[in-house]
Structure formats: structure tokens, C-alpha cells
């Protein structure tokens, strides 16, 4: 992922949000929102993944490290995942990651997981607008200085993995 550049409109803060959208549902819903001419905040940069279960916690930590203020994950509704249980895996990882982010001093509103089917273009609009507002209120993400910045995500992922092993996830 390339470095995300900071942007602002006037003196106001414009959050940069990275969206990891499942190809089969949320990505298609975002497309539908576009073709239906639903307008929503332009703050989300969408990355398509084949399933929300493909999301490695590393991707989210990398997004933050490279300048994102928030990360939005969109997946198929429970029971609708094209790979059976990918979204269940995504939910478990998301829950663990939020715990980890809290210990790092990162507000939990900065990561959001939503189930959005291909027909829910209006939900894409609502979720993006809500999240943009929430993060605008929080302000830019200011990660504390990290002595060995290059190693941070790896260490963090190890912590998520070790929590996962302890809890059997
Ligand atoms: S295929 Fe969409 S979440 Fe798995």
C-alpha cells in the first residue's frame, strides 16, 4: 500500500479512511451507490478484497502507520459469505484487533466493521458519512513516537496472534 497523503479542506480536518470492501457485497454496494447517484463523503479510499476473511490485522496496522485516520471493513452478512465462514473469521480478528488498538491508545471508533450486501447502496452511503463524521470529531490519528517504527506492525500482529492462540481463534 502506498503512503497515504494528509489532506484538509480549508482549516478543517478531513479524515483519511481506508475501506477494505469484500468483492461480493460491499464493493458492489459501493458501485450501486455510485450508479444510483447517492452522494457520500469522499474520504474513503476503497481497496477490494475477495472476502472480509482475507483481511490480515497487518493490513489495518499498516494503514494506520502509513497515515490513515480510520479503517472501514465491509463484508457479507452472516450466512452470506461466499467462502462460508470468512466473515466470522473477520469478526473474531476485528474483536481482537480492537482490544489491541485500545492498548496502543487508538480510539476504537477508528476501526469499524459493517455487513453490507450488494443491494445496500444506501447503507454504504450512511456508514461512510457516519464514520467520516465520527473521525472528524476525533481528529487526526497521532500515533505515539515508535522507537523502532518499522517493527511496530510485526510486533502488534504477534500480540494479536498470541491473544488468538490463547483464546483458540
Ligand atoms: S465473501 Fe464477502 S465476507 Fe466472505
What angle separates helix 26-35 from helix 121-138, to the nearest 10 degrees? Answer: 100
- For 97, the domain range is 15-167
State in Å: Cα 117 to ligand 1 middle: 10
- 123 Cβ neighbours under 8 A, 6+ residues apart: 29, 114, 116
Residue 58: CATH number of its domain:
3.40.50
Number of domains making up the chain: 1
Q: Is residue 2 in a domain?
A: no
Grid coordinates standing for 102? Answer: 485500545
How many CB atoms within 10 Å of residue 3?
A: 7
- 38-83, pLDDT tens digit by residue? 999 999 999 999 999 999 999 999 999 999 999 999 999 999 999 9
Q: Is residue 8 in a domain?
A: no
Q: 74: Cβ below 6 Å to ligand 1?
A: no
Q: Is residue 3 in a domain?
A: no
Q: Is residue 103 in a domain?
A: yes
**Res 8: pLDDT:** 45
Q: Is residue 10 in a domain?
A: no
Q: Full-prediction pTM beyond 0.85?
A: no
Amino acid at each position: 500500500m502506498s503512503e497515504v497523503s494528509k489532506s484538509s479542506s480549508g482549516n478543517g480536518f478531513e479524515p483519511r479512511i481506508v475501506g477494505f470492501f469484500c468483492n461480493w457485497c460491499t464493493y458492489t454496494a459501493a458501485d450501486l451507490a455510485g450508479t444510483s447517484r447517492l452522494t457520500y463523503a469522499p474520504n474513503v479510499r476503497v481497496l477490494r478484497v475477495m472476502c472480509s476473511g482475507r483481511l490480515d490485522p497487518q493490513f489495518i496496522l499498516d494503514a494506520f502507520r502509513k497515515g490513515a485516520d480510520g479503517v472501514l471493513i465491509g463484508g457479507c452478512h452472516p450466512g452470506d459469505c461466499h467462502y462460508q465462514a470468512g466473515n466470522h473469521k473477520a469478526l473474531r480478528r476485528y474483536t481482537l484487533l480492537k482490544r489491541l488498538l485500545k492498548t496502543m491508545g487508538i480510539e476504537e471508533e477508528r476501526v469499524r466493521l459493517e455487513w453490507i450486501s450488494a443491494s445496500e447502496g444506501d447503507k454504504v452511503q450512511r456508514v461512510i458519512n457516519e464514520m467520516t463524521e465520527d473521525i472528524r470529531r476525533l481528529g487526526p490519528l497521532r500515533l505515539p513516537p515508535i522507537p523502532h517504527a518499522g517493527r511496530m506492525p510485526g510486533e502488534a500482529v504477534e500480540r494479536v496472534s498470541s491473544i488468538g492462540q490463547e483464546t483458540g481463534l
